[in-house]
Structure 1
Amino acid sequence: MPAPAIKICGVTTAETLEVLIAERVDHVGFNFIAKSPRYLNPEQAARLGAHAAGRINRVGLFLDAEDASIGEAIAAAGLDAVQLHGEETPERAAQVRDRFGLPVWKALPVASNEDVASAAAYVGAVDLVLFDAKTPKGTLPGGMGVTFDWSLLTAWKAPCAWGLAGGLNPANVAEAARITGAPLVDAASGVETALGVKDAAKIAAFCAAVRSL
């Protein structure tokens, strides 16, 4: 199979952004979830967004955000896509897409076959479904280094674009991609040395592992 596209999420510095561009990463994730250690305020987002413009696809992460907050982030960072990471329904996702005219990605937490099956409701409402690991109640919905049983995805007949997230790192991403056939893989904590601190060597190793397929 062709090597999956790569997204590195939670980038907070221009130095890390340059690493992603040098490694030919397809998508960078800018985090607009206020309680995340990878959160970007509008000023930071504007600087990084301008730095990335025309060089890498900019995806903004949001958690049950209102239109005003999403619009502010889109304007600041020049986002190319919106990723919804909360309890947003298919109707809300479609509303965001119509309101802002950008591709919408929906992250879905997975711990069971029923969780995978829930993706069907979003077909036609979003442009990409991102299967992520379900995290414990009261914690952040992603970026926690938690994986899920990838075999849950082997029977899923992908009716839309999709990707795989949840605890992916240089050591396990190739296996995860082989088991699932994921056309996109997404890493955050798996390429960090500390919470929110990206590591250039780990990013390079992650990309090499993906492209070894």
Structure 2
Amino acid sequence: MEEREDAMSIAVKICGLKTPEDAHVAIQAGADLLGCVFFPPSPRNVSAKQAAEVFDMVGDADVLKVGLFVNPSDDELMSVLNQVRLDLIQFHGDESPERVEEVRQTFGLPVMKALPIETTEDVEKARTYDGVADRLLFDAKPPKGATRPGGNAIAFDWSLLRDTQWTVPWMLAGGLTVDNVLDAVKQSGCKAVDVSSGVEAEKGVKSPELIEAFLKAVKG
């Protein structure tokens, strides 16, 4: 019972949404954050118009709308923000702490920085963003030759994060599925998880059944 109570307090982000229907499923199943990807090489890439339609499903629900960008220019950010109301910008590229702060000041929105983790050294490197970004997201390092920095269905050693202390909230990502998410929570000590490929029927296509099953596994 204690493990179930711990699981129920975990926040869940469903990322890479492309249709209002999938967003509706995620909201109804208890998602806390919804993410759309603005990165053309990704099979989950959407236009600002598509994202606006996805996020329209949120309505009055207590759900954060997240836009994922990879090394965007100010013009690229503005192009999306002129059409889409985001609650949180997610940076998933090589953005520096200075760039994170610049965007926070320029656009007046909180920023979550995704950081690739493979070793203890990577965890320590991530600390340069702690207190600069509003949130951190720890993801697996992409394989060599990968065209995307995330969404590669790869996990890392979750125990690297166990008992680490951070001044801002953080989220776990990378290869999470309905079968391993509770183990990931237990090993890492995370309070929030982010899933994309783990709830897909095929690359870039969400499965309503897997979205529901994932949220049920985490939320109970």
Q: Which residue of 2 aligns with 1:58?
A: 65
State the TM-score, normalizing by the size of structure 1. Answer: 0.95
- 1:124, distance to aligned residue in structure 2 (A): 2.0
| Matched-pair contact (CA < 8 Å) for 2:173–2:194 | yes
| Matched-pair contact (CA < 8 Å) for 1:73–1:79 | no
Moved more, 166-175 or 200-209: 200-209
Tell me the distance in 2 between the aligned counterparts of 1:151 and 1:188.
21
Tell me the distance in 1 between the aligned counterparts of 2:76 and 2:59.
21
Amino acid at match of 1:109: P
Q: Deviations over 1:62-92 (max 9, x none)?
A: 0000011112212222111000000001110
Amino acid at match of 2:214: F
- 1:53, distance to aligned residue in structure 2 (A): 4.1
Q: Does 1:45 align with 2:47?
A: no
Q: 1:147 aligns with which of 147, 155, 176?
A: 155
Q: 2:186 aligns with which of 166, 178, 193?
A: 178
Identical aligned residues as a percent: 43
Q: Deviations over 1:133-179 (max 9, x none)?
A: 00113311111110000111114212221010000010000010011
Q: Does 1:134 align with 2:141?
A: yes
Q: Does 1:21 align with 2:60?
A: no
Q: Does 1:97 align with 2:101?
A: no
CA RMSD for the aligned pairs?
A: 1.2
Q: Does 1:206 align with 2:214?
A: yes
| Matched-pair contact (CA < 8 Å) for 1:169–1:187 | yes
What SS does the aligned partner of 2:198 have?
helix
Tell me the distance in 2 between the aligned counterparts of 1:103 and 1:39.
21
Q: Does 1:8 align with 2:36?
A: no
Tell me the distance in 1 between the aligned counterparts of 2:145 and 2:50.
27
Q: Does 1:197 align with 2:205?
A: yes
Gap runs ≥5 in structure 1: none
Moved more, 50-59 or 182-191: 50-59
* Superposed structure 1 runs of 4+ greater than 3 Å apart: none
Amino acid at match of 1:129: L
What SS does the aligned partner of 1:17 have?
helix
Tell me the distance in 2 between the aligned counterparts of 1:49 and 1:76.
11
Tell me the distance in 2 between the aligned counterparts of 1:182 and 1:64.
26
What SS does the aligned partner of 1:106 have?
strand
Gap runs ≥5 in structure 2: 1-5
